[in-house]
Amino acid sequence: SLFRLKDLEVPKLGDSDVHVKMLAAPINPADINMIQGTYPLLSPLPAVGGNEGVGEVLEVGRRVTALKPGDWVIPANAGLGTWRTRGVFPEEMLLKVPSDIPVLCAATLSVNPCTAFRVLADFESLAPGDSVIQNAANSGVGQAVIQIARASGIKTINVVRDRPDLPKLVERLMALGADYVITEEMLRKPEMKDIFKSIPRPRLALNCVGGKSTTEMLRHLQPKGTMVTYGGMAKQPVMVPVSAFIFRDVRLRGFWMTQWRKDHAQDQGSVAGMMDALCQLIRRGQLTAPACTEVPIQDYRAALEASMKPFVSSKQILLL
């Protein structure tokens, strides 16, 4: 196994450092990919896993002005190493979040909801009544897309893999505000036409699967529509018929939250605007944490194994 639970000394607090007591941190697919070495970010070893989570500030260095003890913080960038009980981090590696939102919402805020927010905002200017289609709709990003779209009056067509407990999953996504939940097989069926009697064809498709699922989804996109790929869970390429390019002029784009953060490192306004918008949705009950299973850090092995099983509809969250 690549993992060990280790006791380390907490380093000395520098002038610009913040001593953080971690509260909760999820296990995301990208965390596993980083550990396997199949992700473009590599931490020098030995490293602490985890790119997301929430902590409470215990003390701050004498130059730190934006944070004080008792504040809640989340990572400003990937690679922080959140699977730990305590850490000392430079101030610029942390973002303050309100402590009046549920701890699981804060712990799962910096990756999936931010990704969902950006892919909905940055590629097509969507208006109320427009629609989007997405695969892996039960993923963390998928659940956030459903809720953020719903709050903006945008309709969602949500594609999931067929599974034994399908009716239960459909019910859960509908409860989050999904307009339609369909299986990959249904994408090929004539019944799809019935959906487009009541809502317009999507201008935006969101893909984190690849392979056949993506090609089928693309078929339903409006002319000049955009498909954004932000993941590739099937580990298969995106195949596009030539006709989709020539006769419908579809656009294919990519999105990586880590890159967006790098590009906007100097633009604190856009980061703050996004965080404020997301926290407002959370406070209004319009954006909830994904379905979570809370696991004490001692049981991290079981949590890692559970997070790699197929058809998992619950995110493993380490309680620190």
Domains of the chain: 17-108+289-319 (3.90.180.10), 112-257 (3.40.50.720)
Given a contact cutoff of 8 angstroms between Cβ atoms, the answer to whether 136 and 169 are in contact is: no
What pLDDT score was predicted for residue 1?
57
What pLDDT score was predicted for residue 154?
98
What pLDDT score was predicted for residue 311?
67
CB proximity list for 143: less than 8 A, separation 6 or greater = 112, 137, 173, 176, 290, 291
What pLDDT score was predicted for residue 3?
75
What pLDDT score was predicted for residue 268?
84
The residues that are catalytic are 39
* Positions in the chain whose pLDDT score sits under 70: 1-2, 41, 311-313
What pLDDT score was predicted for residue 235?
83
Per-residue pLDDT tens for 56-77?
A: 999 999 999 999 999 999 999 8
| Residue % of the chain over a pLDDT of 90 | 72
* 61, two tokens: 């260095």
Per-residue pLDDT tens for 166-208?
A: 999 999 999 999 999 999 999 999 989 999 999 999 999 999 9
pTM of the complete model:
0.90
Given a contact cutoff of 8 angstroms between Cβ atoms, the answer to whether 137 and 206 are in contact is: no
